[in-house]
Structure 1
Amino acid sequence: MADIDLAITESECALVGKNAAAELSPEELVAKARAPVKKAFLRSHGDRLPIVDMGTEPSAASKVSATKKSKRQQKKERQLVKKSAENICTAVARANDVNVCPYGADCRFNHDLEAFLAQKPTDLPGECPFLGTRKKCPFGLSCRFAGTHCLHLDSVSTPSEAEKPEELNGLSKDLQKMLWKNQATFLRADAQLQSLGITVKGKQKAPNTISMQADEIAHDGKAGNDITETQVNGTELSDAQQCDNQHTLEVGDDPHEDSTPAWKKTKTDFAHMPLDGEMLSPDSATEIMGSGNDAECRSTAREKKLIDFRGKLYVAPLTTVGNLPFRRVCKQLGADITCGEMAMCTNLLQGQASEWALLRRHHTEDVFGVQICGAYPDTVARTAELIERESEIDFIDLNVGCPIDIVVNKGAGSCLLTKPLRFKQIVTAASASMDKPLTVKVRTGYFEGKNCIHSFIGEIHKWGISALTIHGRTRQQRYSKLADWDYIYKTSLEASENLQVIGNGDIFSYTDWNEHMNSSRLSTCMLARGVLIKPWLLTEIKEQRHWDISSTERFEIIKDYVRFGLQHWGSDSKGVETTRYFLLEWLSYLHRYIPIGLLEVIPQKLNWRPPLYNGRNDLETLMASDSAADWVRISEMLLGPAPPNFSFTPRHKSNAYDRADNG
């Protein structure tokens, strides 16, 4: 996962205003990490943006409130919605027949078609997003484009084509129930854990027993780590994204057992590791990481079907924004390899549908991996076996770089860089529990000034890893400094010839890509925030050019995203608002792009702070706005007016929702 955070304070924006930029030369602005926009396009804070006429009127709801509803209020609203006429039964809406529902009067959804149609909002402009796809619209009368369904009669696919699923890796109800009841078996993972000296009992429970959080019962007895949201801005997500049942799975040893495995007792910390630039002595490296010839290393050094990353365009797993519709956009623009958003192992083992939805794969993603994150060998190994058995994936990526507090505090993510023995146990057990390749993504270290990847990169391939991605920052740095590519270059030279090393950090143009690929033995470079801000970066690298993309072309990319989002989250009212939410999250990055034609110096660098400027037309000016209210206006051009009392707050740190003009 790439934690995507690029904060710009109000005071910083003021510094790069029209007057400050006009007084400095382009070279001076670049030296201060300020974007050198041509003076003719600069504007002051008092200038208002134009209202772009795209066929819809801006609604009164396009003001953005920073006030967040309480969980109690959100739950109350969901309960009211369930009892209202708008919560129509899906089967009834699809067939336009109240007798179709198999549950009849016992169905918890509304069957009153007349009441539903009376309160249903006016259809949105445009065609149903399912027109021209392999299947008819699954939402029937509840679709916000239902008036165009008659056009589907001329575009229905053949029966054989309709049977092929557009999306793969759905969570079946049978598997979910098995996970809820702790009836799933992990024979291969448990055997590998036992061979490593990690005892796992895996006791069965009665079907109606609800346990505490899985990892935490097995290990520290702390509260669980569920960081997945099942509800967005008061809008309940679709069935593919949420799980109403909170049953959890017990995994691992009895916490009251006297015989504690060795990996639990070990508390190795990188405070004792050498500083950046120093190397471990052979004796100390063996003491911390273990010998490369020991039994557990040999057990994982098996032949696997490897993924060739060399020279491929690899889009990073991006939290929140790197969803399936966004990856489809990336595939259209030239991505070769895609990876799903980070999923927590504990939540997957609990059968949470919202977490399993992160593993969904579109059939156009020809090389696709999933990223998992866990703190203990048994949890990660069992998750790896389960995913490989139940999903169609090409590789599994282990996140050892996530800097988010809620993940690190549970011992996962970049916290594992401070626990090298446990890190080795996790990788060895997970790799031996699966046939697909295992890759790992790390940061250069945990503490600033104490890079540590060089200490074990020579041995890590023997643990069972086929590729290692190095993000050129420490956990402590987050995104406050530029990526340390010199350290990435140096470390890649010390890696085994059989290990593919991938660099990551601050790539924002094809010249950045070329520089990093030509300066080291890296197999490829991972693209993260650069693709969020300008997804056409993929095309620029493929075609080796700077693309001065027009606002119309950028708007067409956004339209494709909306269409893909409606196909993924649904074209009913709930799906429309879910699509709007994730579109707004993406727009909170897209607005940071500065058109090439407006710059004194090209290409744009990722760390440049943009001034306030006018575009070459009204749409380009609107797309450059850092106001969340203007992002809502863009969403309304494609998804109609936002609901009354609509609120949006970007998940990443940004000043965009603190500005007074956001309402």
Structure 2
Amino acid sequence: MSDSEVQLGEGQNDSAAAAAAASNLPVEKTPEELVAKAVAPVKREFLRPPPLRPSSNNRGGAVSEEKAEPPQSAIVKEKKSKRQLKRERREQKKSTSHICPVVAKTGDVSSCPYNDKCRFSHDIEAYKDQRPDDLEGECPFVSAEEPCPYGLTCRFLGTHREDVSVECINACRNRSEMNVFSKDVQKLLWKNKMSFPKADAKLKDLGLLKHANSKAKISVDKEDDQIALRKCQVTNGNGPIDLTDKDSEMEISARITENDAADETPESNELPPLKKPKCVVSECCSSEAEDADVFVVEKVVSENCNQPEAEATADMVTPEADRSLKLHPREKKIIDFREKLYLAPLTTVGNLPFRRVCKVLGADVTCGEMAMCTNLLQGQASEWALLRRHTSEDLFGVQICGAFPDTVARAVELIDQECSVDFIDINMGCPIDIVVNKGAGSALLMKPMRLKGVVEAASGTVEKPITIKVRTAYFEGKNRIDSLIADIGNWGASAVTIHGRSRQQRYSKLADWEYIYQCAIKAPDPLQVLGNGDIFSYLDWNKHKADCPELSSCMIARGALVKPWIFTEIKEQRHLDISSGERLDILKNFVRFGLEHWGSDTKGVETTRRFLLEWLSYTCRYIPVGLLDIIPQRLNWRPPSYYGRDDLETLMASDSAADWLRISEMLLGKVPDGFTFAPKHKSNAYDTAENG
């Protein structure tokens, strides 16, 4: 234990302190005194002096003066234009190291549909000469059912089978993953041609519809419909169209499309009333429609995308019928979270491979990483990747974050249409500055009316359960969830998770579970309340459940990051003294799941390494049960420098990024030259500037 971590206790003898000072030895403290100062009481025989830290951040340790690079200020960098940078990127893709994915998959140069116009290299022999060496182990896609889709670029090429056809490779790709983002939907979002009839109708009922935010207005007043229809002089779909009215072309063309579909109806001066489709996806006009002066702008798409257009048109219902058939919030499907082990949505580390690890270890409910509504509505593929679901996740939800009711409602409708999820969680507790400054996350706690609008709009748009996650308050000492808990259920939420900390507090103090209990007691019966904060053992779980029977369940977050086998401990009701070899097996499972998810080529290997290192920055905080004087370990304990029971356990206890890299090299081979790593999280941040 270092001198800086050990301080003299109030009850220590002056003579003992003087003797210790004279001999330069720290005064030994009892385990209870260490716990009082939030220091982990590691047995004295395992303690060691803290290792020396190199001044440099690279994995090679301190840089000698002879090899030291000149300061950045002394290096004059050549300024390049955007055109030159773009040209260099194209030339890099043309290099032999960037072989065409289609050619790499099939091994046939003629298989690429772009031929000479392809932006990647087709030189197979040149790529083989400079490709990196294979990694140890077996390709995660080598099986009778899932052949490797990366072909020559796979880092486990030597383990591939030779009797696999290209058709089999394409068919087996990502068979176990769901919620793959559709390119057609992405193009519509890019062009801002996606319409949201359910969300806009609900927003209009609530008086929250922003007229400038919606190009296609699906819900139109009857009087406007009649005026528009009178100005559309259509005779059997072939007459001229008067577009001088203030109504948009999209609204008029929707009526023309319906009139063409009803060509068997006898002619009359009065046109049939406008019918409301279940879901509308705007598409560009076809060339034939333009030649016939017929504007076909909206295409009806039912919930089953394979249904023909004629059948989808037959499923249309009037707005009056749609309102009468809408489910009451109490009639919606309800997910029972009681007694279920809920893995919290965790930014960066709560990815799909990590969730698969937790499912193997006993998690019941999983939730994807937080996705921003604005990015989803813009069609960002990286944001939609956060909604991926594995087939092993039998009870799965996604978490979204938005600042305004219209943004959240449209994102909810889009997710309901495109993804397979069991519930949708809205994050109203994110403390990150970039989120709060946009009015989302914890900022909604200061605006209860907007919070109400977000919940009402989202729950009224879809039939799936809507849950929310909040903190106790924005500012420390100004809790306010207890005053809103009775209304949250009436607004349409099925469950609420309360993190027992304020936004300002972050993670610097223990969670306030007494306040969570107060909110759970005040909550109405249909609303399920879940607690979150500092659960690190089965004793913590049992205590919270026993202290407040009204609590439905507890959400486990950082405890699962430090020791993912906490789910097994809770189910088996015992402390697991897990060995270093068993911990390494868990890391191996993560690597295998990561290669299946991100890919077994060089890019996929390095992506897996990055997320593995992020996770190792948490797992190093775990202290084995056999090394502690007092069990169980608490989440707020600071681990001292100690020796493990073997070399691997000692390596896993290190808080040095260089040692994390060594662990990653045991699983994914040598790191590339110039590779550096710094964890993203700052879990102990406390913002005192906002105290006022």
Q: Please, what TM-score do these two structures have when normalized by structure 1?
A: 0.77
Equivalent residue, structure 2, for 1:208: none
For 1:173, the aligned partner's letter is: K
The answer for the alignment partner of 2:50 in structure 1 is 45
Is the 8 Å Cα contact of residues 48 and 642 (structure 2) preserved in structure 1?
yes
Of residues 647, 650, 659, the one that matches 2:676 is 647
Shift of residue 200, structure 1, vs aligned partner: 3.0
- Measured in 2, the distance between the counterparts of 1:394 and 1:141 equals 38
C-alpha contact (below 8 Å) 2:408/2:454 kept by paired residues: yes
Residue number in structure 2 paired with 1:101: 112
Aligned to 2:402: 374
Between the aligned partners of 1:105 and 1:46, the Cα distance in structure 2 is: 56
Give the length in aligned residue pairs: 540
Matched, 1:477 2:505: yes
Distance 1:150 1:611 in 2: 49
**Which of 423, 426, 436 matches 1:395?**
423
Partner in structure 2 of residue 113 of structure 1? 124
Q: Which residue of 1 aligns with 2:33?
A: 28
Whichever residue aligns with residue 186 of structure 1, its letter is F
Is the contact made by 1:442 and 1:471 (CA closer than 8 Å) also made in structure 2?
yes
Cα distance, 1:150 vs. partner? 2.3
Moved more, 18-27 or 568-577: 18-27
From the superposition, tell whether residues 132 and 308 of structure 1 become closer, same or farther in structure 2 (CA, over 3 Å).
farther
* Cα contact 1:64–1:647 (8 A) shared by 2: no
Aligned: 1:191 with 2:201: yes
1:232-311 correspondence runs (5 A): 301-311=329-339
Contact 2:413 2:461 in 1 (8 A): yes
Residue 452 (structure 1) aligns with? 480
Distance 2:534 2:499 in 1: 10
Letter aligned with residue 177 of structure 2: E
Please list, as runs of the form range in 1=range in 2, the aligned pairs for 1:65-464 lying within 5 A after superposition: 81-132=92-143, 134-150=145-161, 162=172, 165-201=175-211, 202-204=213-215, 301-464=329-492
For residue 109 of structure 2, give the secondary structure of its aligned residue in structure 1.
coil
What displacement does 1:309 show?
Answer: 0.3
Amino acid at match of 2:35: V
Partner of 1:523: 552
Contact 1:64–1:648, Cα closer than 8 Å, also in 2: no
Q: 1:63 to 1:169 in 2, by over 3 A?
A: farther
Alignment-derived partner of residue 252 in structure 2? none
- Per-residue CA deviation, residues 143-176 of structure 1 (Å, 9 max, x unaligned), is 000100028879x999999488210001111000
Using the TM superposition, give the Cα deviation of residue 303 of structure 1 relative to its aligned residue in structure 2, in angstroms: 1.6
CA contact (8 A) 2:327 2:463 kept: no
Distance verdict in 2 for CA 1:624–1:370, change over 3 Å: same
Larger Rg: 2
Q: State TM-score, norm by structure 2.
A: 0.74
Runs (5+) with no aligned partner, structure 2: 9-19, 64-70, 217-322, 685-692
Q: Deviations over 1:113-158 (max 9, x none)?
A: 111111111100110011237421110010000100028879x999
User: What amino acid is the match of 2:33?
Assistant: E
- For structure 1, the 5+ residue unaligned runs are 1-9, 50-59, 206-294, 656-663
CA distance in structure 2 between the partners assigned to 1:329 and 1:545 by the alignment: 20
> What one-letter code is carried by the residue in structure 2 that aligns with 1:23?
E
CA RMSD of aligned residues (A): 3.1
| Residue aligning to 1:255 | none
Alignment of 1:599 with 2:619, yes or no, is: no
Q: 1 CA distance for matches of 2:25 and 2:615?
A: 29
Letter in 1 for 2:30: S
Q: Alignment partner for residue 546 of structure 1, among 575, 583, 599?
A: 575
Secondary structure of residue in 1 paired with 2:105: helix
Distance in 2 (CA, whole Å) between partners of 1:416 and 1:105 is 54
AA aligned opposite 1:141: L
Give, in whole Å, the separation in 1 of the partners of 2:124 and 2:644. Answer: 48
CA contact (8 A) 2:59 2:658 kept: no
**In structure 1, distance between residues paired with 2:544 and 2:149:** 46
What is the CA–CA distance in structure 1 between the aligned matches of 2:505 and 2:683, rounded to whole Å?
17
Q: Percent identity?
A: 63
1:578 is matched by which residue type in structure 2?
T
| C-alpha distance in 2 between matches for 1:397 and 1:378 | 16
Equivalent-residue separation in structure 2 for 1:547 and 1:436 (angstroms): 37
**Structure 1 residue 40, shift from structure 2 partner:** 0.3
Letter in 2 for 1:167: E
Q: Which residue of 2 aligns with 1:258?
A: none
Aligned counterpart in structure 2 of residue 608 of structure 1, from 634, 637, 659? 637
- SS of equivalent to 1:23: coil
Instruction: State the 1:21 CA deviation.
Output: 7.4
